[in-house]
Amino acid sequence: MDEHLLRFNPKEEYVFIDCETFNLCLNEFHNVAWQVSMIKVRNDKKIDQRDFFIDWGTELKISKEAKFITKYNEKEVKSKSVPPEKALPDIKKWLNECDHIVGHNILGFDIYIIKWMFEYMNAPYQHLTPKVIDTNCLAKGLKMQMPYDNKSDFLAYQYKMYHTRRKGIRTRIEYLAKELDIKHDETKLHDAIVDLELNFKVWKKLKWQIEV
């Protein structure tokens, strides 16, 4: 029987999270998140959301590539930004209390940003990674015909998929949306909340193709 699978458990709480940063550097001295967005989901329904623009008081400037991709508007970001102390408590509470933390390429990027934010709060973070569901890793496994077998360690499986490379395998969120017949406005991608809404739709279809 498959009742133990996530797709059959309506009580599990998911937090989808996405961080927009100044660049792709995985070092807190050279990169921080200027936007952190989250949506809370239970029983395949969005029940709440948070969208924070954070002013770290840094002299860092956004890279040209990141500015173009994320459609970064400095005036708008500054007008909406709050100090970390206003945003981080909610981020910590949501991630601590949920059953699963979902993101697209979260194991390759966002988890490091989350780690730094928890360190900034002097809060433990090691318990977060085992809760992670990375839809990028799951999609890679399916496309490479290396699906999770539901017997091995799920986190280890996801990391294995993250580090496995195969030519021609495309798992960017917009590619998956097209393949899964999910309608979305591509012009609005890379706004964190919009990305999360799409990630949520992708997960709802992926979870029927994996045994987790």
Q: Which sequence spans correspond to the domains of the chain? A: 10-206
Q: How confident is residue 187, by pLDDT bands cut at 50, 70 and 90?
A: low
Q: Residue 76, exposed/middle/buried by CB under 10 A (0-12, 13-18, 19+)?
A: exposed
Q: How confident is residue 188, by pLDDT bands cut at 50, 70 and 90?
A: low
Other C-beta atoms within 10 Å of 32: how many? 22
- The string of DSSP codes covering 164-204 is ---TT----HHHHHHHTT----GGGTTSHHHHHHHHHHHHH
Q: How far is CA 72 from CA 21, 35, 68, 112, 188, in A?
A: 10, 10, 7, 21, 12
At 150-175, the pLDDT tens digits run: 888 999 999 999 999 999 999 999 89
- Report the alpha-carbon distance of residue 135 to residue 133 in Å, rounded: 6
Backbone angles phi, psi at 94, to 5 degrees: -65, -45
- Entry pTM: 0.92
Q: Are 117 and 19 in contact (CB under 8 A)?
A: no
- Report the alpha-carbon distance of residue 42 to residue 9 in Å, rounded: 9
At 54-82, the pLDDT tens digits run: 999 988 888 888 888 777 888 888 899 99
CATH 3.30.420.10 fits 10-206, yes or no: yes
